[in-house]
Structure 1
């Protein structure tokens, strides 16, 4: 690229010098027109015209001669000038035709540039201004251009080096900060973040890193809380069983207490088994090993079964449960998964609804989804607790001696299973004392048809309900 630029520069410098020579020749001819005209009118002497020629030589730095129309030397020049060399010179012949060109010839072995222009008196040529300059002048012009090119190239190189160093530093500094933060997180400092001061791609990487770090920190906090809560929930039934076993082994209990303690141990074993099964289901969901079922499940019939399973809890608390469902509600699911969702939602409502309260459970189908909504008249949920209800082991009643039994995993399980089926679950409440509404949206495969023994959905309006029972 530099060599190409140098060749272009050489060509440009020579052209500039040639143009300058032609311009100088034209100016010299114009300048000498007046003194020569006066000389011809005998207003000036030959010596005075020669002085004008000498002054122009000093001004232009070139050798100037004034030739006659026949090409012979009239004024100026060196004493040893060969007169004949100008008679047939190309620049002289061009000047006689009112043209200005330049020619290059060797004089005493050295290249010299020549140019000539006619001096006119009206239409008559009264003389020829003839200029010559050694080619060293052109070479000097080329050298000047080369020096300018070199300085420009050097300046550009230095600028490019400075810019590359600046860009390199601007890239490596944030990368080093990211590296330091990443190593700190690897060493256990999960609070480490990078300071972001730019809005380019590097800034985007920094923001992504901070989001990742926040996510990792949150995951670790949740994991620690999960381990702490799980150990407590596992320790509670184990402690109860150990105490009961110690009393039984003492041999000092009467038959009534033996029976009661045995029943309590059995209940704690059931509770422990259910807790382990819940944790196992959550683990499978977290590791994406919870397989989606392909069974055709009758949601209405399943709801009836769940209602009967919890009949004893309803009876103890004297709670009225009204279940409303469309006549036909087949959905694609694993029976145990949908049962888990239904049972947890209804059991949750029964536990948190006071004695004598009411629960309404509706099952509808809209826009390709089965919508299960449980509305209770229970204690309700405060606005600050609502966003946390799906956290594992989260309890609105945070005391260790809770009034309501449970592990705090029910809603987490419901959310994990529902989202596995591309559904969603939401909870709303108007506050403490105003009850709670839990809604599940479960996708329904459109190609699933009702079994022959059931009425099809076309026989019942989508908004119609068939009461399953009032208890």
Structure 2
């Protein structure tokens, strides 16, 4: 299925808005939730530090004369805390000497942490957090008062980095929601573009000449309003064009009355002249006859075209052999063919496919094409008659080719327009091909013209009859 450009625009526009919305939501969440997490972390750290300091001071106060390193109760409590928090804990006196440690050996150099870590002050408590992952977590320095009124500090260094707020699940959730919404855009976009496609098809049918067609759009939105406007335009065009064609038909019919009077007046004038004068004016009377005949043919052609446009009568369809039709037509035009010494070549299959058509109208169309072929072929030229099936096999082509100079692309495009003549100054009314095209269109077929190596080919394409073998 071909994806329409409007559908792609709707989908991409919605997708763009969705991405921007999710980015904004993520930014707001990270800004607010991140700050909230940071604030809560600092509050929790201060409470824990205050509790640790109070516990250490109370434990030391119970045995004030026992050095911290020998206080078994202090050792058990701080070792347990160190194990739970995966941390190193040590106590320093006022001179910076280590008086207690939950580990063996010297403690890490605190000055290095103070220079490489970001310091945060929580009252009298200082927390150093790392700028980058160096394998250690935060260093917490807590002031401490000894039972003998001396001062010192408790140091707690986490072995693992400080846990940051994990935005991964939230981002993943946003992506899943966005993907689900994007999938829902597909049917929504099609719901919008489907009636527009139908409107496009209706507009093309009206443009192709089917002025009776009306768009069927339901609903009460802007698309249904557009469908109503299209139907209103089609009704207005049909009314105006039909009125124009009826006027043309009526005028053409009325023109035949004064034309008949002219012919009668000419005959009376010829009969009233003395014998000698009639001989001298014979050439002028013949020129008048030719002009009257040409005008009569033109009016007849206009009437034929108007009848095809205005007729609501159904076609009298019959199953026909196209090869037989074209062969009979060639015999009718044999006098003109012989006069110009033309050679007629027939390309008919042994068993020609049948077509469903109105025999009288189709014969008129073929006669108009053959008349043009004979009229505009050069002396001793070739006329080709061809009947064949299309590659798809569901249509039949009836083609007539005549030797003539190639036509320009502009002439080919306008060849079937009323009163257009590709051969300037030639004979004819310029309506024969227009009548042929209208007949073919009423049969649901196509009429086309193209330059070939042997001349100009005009082809009728009609649906193949279901009765064909």
Indicate the TM-score class for this superposition, using the shorter chain for normalisation.
0.3 to 0.5
Q: TM-score, length-normalised on structure 2?
A: 0.42
Q: TM-score, length-normalised on structure 1?
A: 0.42
Structure 1 or 2, whichever has the larger Rg, is 1
Q: Larger relative contact order (C-alpha < 8 A, sep ≥ 6)? A: 1
